[in-house]
Amino acid sequence: MARTTLKLIAAVAMLAGAWTAAKAADNAPAIRVTLLGSGTPTPRPDIFSMSTLVEAGDQKLVFDLGRGSTIRLYQKKIPLGAVTAHFITHLHSDHIVGLPDMWMTGWIGTPWGSRKTPMVVFGPRGTVAMTENLTRAFAEDIRIRTEDEHFPAAGIAFDATDIVAGPVYDKGGVKVTAFEVNHGEHIRPAYGYMVEYAGHKVVLSGDTRYDERVANAAKGADLLIHEVSVIEPELIQARPEYRAIADHHTSPEEAGRIFSIANPKLAVYSHIVFAGVKPIQDVPVEALTTRTESTYRGPFMIGADLMSFAIGDKVEAFGPDGAALKPLMAGQ
């Protein structure tokens, strides 16, 4: 019996050890980016909605909190409570449905939760109101877990800010700047973000139509993460409401033009909108690639959940299994 107990304690200790931060290797990249969700509102089990993790120095920043962002962080063995700050591009639900999960589940006192300080959230006008309303919506769970499990009150508080374009965050040498993008006249403001650390730069377009403000922010960037939309013309003809969806996003040809102006070391598509005549099918990679290459001759990739990027002297890409990936390149 005693031996079993000891074994159990050892197993629990090992499990807890797996969740502590691994010591950074000497040749560690300056910035590591992981696509936690690369999709859209479509409730696919393999492609979650938008969320991106950017790790730089001692900062772990998450941009957008789409469906399943908690699950992807769990797969990465990153405790939800270890995320330093959260940034929202705009308040469409596919970018925030994971926020209540991150907030509530991250508070639970386990190796994968354990937030003990307020959840830091930056987002467009309406973000603070959303956090206040969520606090009201989940009041009963907060009461129960406070009285029953004695989780710290600070861990379920929000430290939320409605931002304007410009510098929004500067901590541990990591600077985050928001810039406005054009996601349609009813979705203002919508933001893209620029992250700078140790002479390196990562830019996230957010959801946007063709907007050269993204290209300007991404000039000289190591990595440009851009949305894209492929909607089959036959579908738009049959169902005109898809024209409105296409009008809120960037076509592959337009994205290629943005990449050509920005000339990043690597561009990657995430938030890949796809709608075809057949209701359920995969993104047509070949069409996406060919259409991008018609306006861009540099390196790019088609993102997938848990694809990651190591940014140092060079930019390296890895698949969900950790295997190195080669970027696509026009004419090669």
CB of 92 to Zn ion, least distance (A): 4
Of the candidates 167, 169, 207, the one whose C-alpha atom is nearest the C-alpha of residue 186 is 207
Nearest CA to 29 among 199, 191, 179? Answer: 199
- In the shown chain, the binding pattern of residues 154 to 193 toward Zn ion, with x for contact by CB under 5 A and - for none, equals ----------------------------------------
C-beta of 227 vs 293, nearer to Zn ion = 227
Return the number of the residue (60 or 92) whose C-beta is nearest Zn ion: 92
Contact 49, 95 (CB under 8 A): yes
* Cβ partners under 8 Å of residue 156, min gap 6: 103, 104, 107, 115, 142, 145, 146
Smallest distance, Zn ion to C-beta of residue 100, A: 17
Q: Which of helix, strand or coil describes residue 30?
A: coil
Nearest distance from C-beta of residue 48 to Zn ion, angstroms: 12
| H/E element, 133 | helix 127-137
Q: Cis peptide before 167, with omega less than 30 degrees from 0?
A: no
> What is the CB neighbour count within 10 angstroms for residue 255?
28
Binding-residue total with Zn ion (CB under 5 A): 3
Shortest distance, position 63 Cβ to Zn ion, whole Å = 12
CB of 51 to Zn ion, least distance (A): 11
* C-beta closer to Zn ion: residue 32 or 248: 248
x-or-dash pattern for Zn ion, window 23-62, by CB under 5 A? ----------------------------------------
Q: What is the pattern of x (binds Zn ion, CB under 5 A) and - over residues 56-95?
A: ------------------------------------x-x-
Map the footprint of Zn ion across residues 268-307, applying CB under 5 A.
none
Contact 225, 87 (CB under 8 A): no
Distances (CA, A) of 327 to 176, 212, 297, 306: 26, 23, 12, 16
3-state secondary structure of 82: helix
66 or 81: whose CB is closer to Zn ion?
66
Q: Does 249 bind Zn ion (CB under 5 A)?
A: no
Nearest to 207 by CA among 239, 223, 236, 184: 184
Q: How far is the CB of 163 from Zn ion (least distance, A)?
A: 17
Provide the minimum distance between the beta carbon of 209 and Zn ion in the complex, in angstroms, as a whole number: 11
In the shown chain, the binding pattern of residues 196 to 215 toward Zn ion, with x for contact by CB under 5 A and - for none, equals: -----------x--------
Binding mask 94-133 for Zn ion (x = CB under 5 A): x---------------------------------------
Residue 109: exposed, middle, or buried by beta-carbon count in 10 A (0-12, 13-18, 19+)? middle
Closest to Zn ion by CB, 109 vs 184, is: 184
Report, in Å, the least distance between residue 296 CB and Zn ion.
22
Please list the residues that pair with 315 across neighbouring strands: 311
Q: Which residues bind Zn ion (CB under 5 A)?
A: 92, 94, 207
